[in-house]
């Protein structure tokens, strides 16, 4: 048997093993806790610190999952109980009543309590998770010890919105697209398991995951490129535009009072291309203004610009995020 043939067989064998490893189903790496007739998945670190200080709760951004916090979560777990949650229907979490952001916050609180993570909480939110953090703080204010927004979304954010008539996307204040009433929170248990549909998606992360462990990279790639995305027909509206409008128009209702707030903003984000409604310069200026305006949601707030980070500060500069959380937890422990 020739060396070339043996080499070819070995290459094929290793390639087959590689493919098999990519399609392996991964069980939930964290804990599953009941949120009212369905279970939410949460990654947990530092459980031994739970009785000694606040629980640090992480909300991921739109399109991300709890695993995206894994450059920060284990390090926070060295000095505090740390929980990163997958919202309903995402990653390993089961589908609940609906996707409304208000409902997701309520469901999160139920799962945390059923898991024994009863607070007080330092709530950390990235991107859309920043809105979830503000909603969580509003609903359970007596349980909140601090808030950290990691390039958090502002309710006056400008996004590219598809115009059905012109068949083109334009920059627009997202809150201005609100066209529904925010549904009331459902506080009873889910009466029946929702009928789930699936769709296949693919996402190329480029080098974004290069600093993650091999197992985390495998799980994230599996979630986005092998495991079908699940959804419930007719229950996909998260009412984010309506909720953004409510936060914007009723700021005082969401004000944190003396609860400390840290706003981390990415200082190396890409410059967006303008259109006929918003110039590139106007978009950048507005982005900077609203990040600073997030400070006004608390009487005790300060702003840090992560100069080497884009939108994902917790991936670009995880040490900075850990440092600010540690400082907040340390201050909170001193006052207990």
Per-residue pLDDT of the chain (336 residues; tens, 9 = 90+): 333 333 433 333 333 333 333 446 899 999 999 999 999 999 999 999 998 899 999 999 999 999 999 999 999 999 999 999 999 999 999 999 999 999 999 999 999 999 999 989 999 999 999 999 999 999 999 999 999 999 999 999 999 999 988 899 999 999 999 999 999 999 999 988 888 899 988 999 999 999 999 999 999 999 999 999 999 988 889 999 999 999 999 999 999 999 999 999 999 999 999 999 999 999 999 999 999 999 999 999 999 999 999 999 999 999 999 999 999 999 999 887
Q: Is residue 241 part of a domain?
A: yes
Estimate to the nearest angstrom the gap between the alpha carbon of 319 and the chain centroid. 18
Q: Is residue 140 part of a domain?
A: yes
CATH number at residue 96: 3.40.50.1820
Q: Is residue 323 part of a domain?
A: yes
Going by C-alpha positions, the residue among 101, 42, 41 that lies closest to residue 236 is 101
Q: Is residue 26 part of a domain?
A: no
Q: Are 148 and 262 spatial neighbours (Cβ–Cβ below 8 Å)?
A: yes
Q: Across the strands, what pairs with 44?
A: 83
How do strand 197-199 and strand 168-173 relate by DSSP bridges?
A: unpaired
Half-sphere exposure of 166 (CA within 13 A, CB side): 6
Radius of gyration of the chain (CA): 21
Going by C-alpha positions, the residue among 40, 206, 55 that lies closest to residue 123 is 55
| d(C-alpha 222, C-alpha 21), whole Å | 10
| d(C-alpha 34, C-alpha 113), whole Å | 9
Q: Are 92 and 86 spatial neighbours (Cβ–Cβ below 8 Å)?
A: yes
Per-residue confidence (pLDDT) for residue 24, from 0 to 100: 67
Q: Which one-letter DSSP state was computed for residue 99?
A: -
Compute the Cα dihedral for 313, 55, 291, 161 and give only its sign. positive
> Can you read off the two tokens belonging to residue 82?
């740390």
Q: Is residue 81 part of a domain?
A: yes
Q: Is residue 27 part of a domain?
A: no
Domain containing 329 equals: 32-196+232-335
Query: What total of structural domains would you count in the chain?
Result: 1
pTM, two decimals, is: 0.92
Q: Is residue 219 part of a domain?
A: no
| d(C-alpha 201, C-alpha 331), whole Å | 43
Q: What length does the chain have?
A: 336
Q: Is 81 left (phi over 0), alpha (psi -120 to 50) or beta?
A: beta
| d(C-alpha 105, C-alpha 22), whole Å | 33
């Amino acid at each position: 048997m020739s060396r070339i043939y043996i080499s070819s067989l070995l290459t094929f064998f290793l390639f087959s093993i590689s493919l098999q490893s990519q399609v392996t189903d991964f069980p939930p790496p964290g804990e599953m806790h009941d949120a009212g007739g369905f279970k939410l998945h949460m990654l947990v670190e530092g459980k031994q610190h739970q009785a000694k200080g606040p629980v640090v709760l992480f909300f991921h951004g739109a399109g991300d999952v709890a695993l995206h916090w894994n450059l920060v979560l284990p390090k926070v777990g060295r000095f505090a109980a740390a929980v990163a949650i997958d919202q309903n229907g995402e990653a390993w979490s089961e589908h609940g009543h609906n996707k409304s952001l208000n409902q997701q916050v309520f469901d999160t609180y139920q799962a945390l309590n059923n898991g024994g993570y009863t607070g007080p909480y330092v709530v950390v939110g990235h991107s859309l998770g920043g809105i979830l953090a503000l909603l969580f703080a509003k609903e359970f204010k007596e349980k909140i010890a601090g808030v950290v927004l990691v390039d958090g979304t502002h309710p006056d954010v400008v996004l590219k919105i598809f115009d059905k008539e012109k068949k083109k996307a334009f920059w627009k204040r997202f809150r201005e697209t609100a066209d529904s009433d925010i549904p009331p929170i459902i506080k009873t248990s889910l009466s029946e398991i929702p009928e789930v549909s699936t769709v296949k998606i693919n996402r190329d992360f480029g080098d974004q995951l290069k600093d993650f462990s091999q197992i985390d990279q495998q799980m994230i790639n599996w979630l986005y490129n092998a495991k079908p995305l699940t959804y419930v027909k007719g229950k996909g509206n998260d009412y984010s535009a309506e909720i953004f409008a409510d936060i914007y128009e009723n700021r005082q209702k969401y004000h944190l009072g003396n609860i400390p707030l840290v706003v981390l903003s990415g200082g190396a984000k890409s410059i967006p291309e303008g259109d006929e409604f918003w110039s590139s310069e106007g978009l950048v200026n507005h982005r900077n203004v609203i990040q600073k305006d997030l400070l006004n949601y608390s009487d005790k707030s300060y702003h840090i610009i992560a100069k080497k980070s884009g939108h994902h500060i917790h991936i670009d500069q995880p040490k900075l995020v850990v440092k600010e959380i540690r400082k907040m937890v340390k201050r909170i422990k001193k006052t207990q």
